[in-house]
A and B are shown apart, each in its own frame.
Chain A
Amino acid sequence: MTKQRNFSQNISCEEAIQRIFPYIDDYLQGTSREELEHHLETCRHCFDRVEFEKLLKSRLRKLNIQQKTNLLQKKIEAIIDKF
Chain B
Amino acid sequence: MTKEEQQEFKTLVLPHLEELHRTAYHLCHVRCNAEDLVMETVTKACEKFRNLREKTKIKHWLLRILSNTFISSYRSQKGLTMVEYTETTHDDGGGFSLFAELSQPFLLWWGNPERELVNKLMDEEIQKAIGELPQEFRLAIVLCDVEGLSYDEIATMTDVPIGTVRSRIARGRSLLQKKLYHYAQDLGLIHAGRKIHDKAKEFQSEH
Contacts and interface: CB of A to CB of B under 8 A. Distances in A.
Interface bin, chain A: 20 to 34
B189 to A, nearest CB: 14
A52 B114 contact: yes
Given A55-B115, A79-B43, A27 B25 contact: no
Nearest to B25: A65
Interface in B3-36: 6, 9-10, 13-14, 17-18, 21-22, 25-26, 31, 34-35
Interface in A19-52: 21-22, 25-27, 44-45, 48-49, 52
B150 A25 contact: yes
A42 to B, nearest CB: 15
A40 to B, nearest CB: 14
B108 to A, nearest CB: 11
Contacts of A81: 6
B105 interface: yes
Contacts of B114: 52
A6 interface: no
Interface bin, chain B: 35 or more
A67 to B, nearest CB: 5
Query: Is chain A's interface secondary structure helix, strand, loop, or mixed overall?
Result: helix
B39 A75 contact: yes
B4 to A, nearest CB: 12
Interface stretch (B73-81, B138-146, B192-200): B138-146
Interface string A39-75: 0000011001100110111011101110101001101
Interface of B: 1, 6, 9-10, 13-14, 17-18, 21-22, 25-26, 31, 34-35, 38-39, 42-43, 46-47, 97-100, 103, 105, 114-115, 118-119, 121, 123, 126-127, 130, 141, 144-146, 148, 150-151, 166, 169-170, 173, 177
